[in-house]
Amino acid sequence: MDRFIIQTLVAPDEEPDARVDAVELRFDLYPGIDVEAAVARQRKPVVATVRRERDGGRWSGNESERASLLRRAAAAAYVDVELDLDPGAVPGGPRRIVSHHTLDGVPPDLDALFE
């Protein structure tokens, strides 16, 4: 099995570990950040996400504002979006990681979620 290590950066200007393959920029953690500049500054591929509070993040704004942040991260290699996000809400350029977050364990109907 191939490995692909992603490091979530606590601060967007943090220097990632040289051993990681990509960095995750959690735009819910960086209020008021220049999204485009944060993506452009990275030397590793970027996974951009804006995690909602109900998914373990800090985003408490509305979905249209969240989608706007994701669109501004269009230069990222990947955009991590939740399964229930409208597919038209994010840019078409980056590859998508579709995720589902449960904070209390793996749901018994996991396969059904993605069908």
CATH code at position 48: 3.20.20.70
The tally of domains found in the chain comes to 1
Determine, yes or no, domain membership for 19. yes
Three-class SS state of 83: coil
Position 114 scores a pLDDT of 62
CB contact set of 84 (below 8 Å; sequence gap of 6+): none
Position 73 scores a pLDDT of 87
Q: List pLDDT tens digits, range 37-69.
A: 999 999 999 999 999 998 889 999 998 898 888
Q: Is the pLDDT of residue 1 over 60?
A: no
Determine, yes or no, domain membership for 32. yes
Determine, yes or no, domain membership for 48. yes
Position 100 scores a pLDDT of 65
Q: Judge whether 63 and 82 are in contact, CB under 8 Å.
A: no
Determine, yes or no, domain membership for 61. yes
Determine, yes or no, domain membership for 76. yes
Q: Over the range 27-38, which residues count as b (16 or more CB within 10 Å of their CB) and which as e?
A: bbbbeebebeeb
Rounded mean pLDDT, 62-84? 88
Determine, yes or no, domain membership for 42. yes
Residue 31: give the domain boundaries.
6-114
Q: What are phi and psi of 61, to 5 degrees?
A: -75, -175
Determine, yes or no, domain membership for 1. no
Q: Is the pLDDT of residue 89 over 80?
A: no
CB contact set of 72 (below 8 Å; sequence gap of 6+): 35, 36
Determine, yes or no, domain membership for 109. yes
Rounded mean pLDDT, 5-18? 89
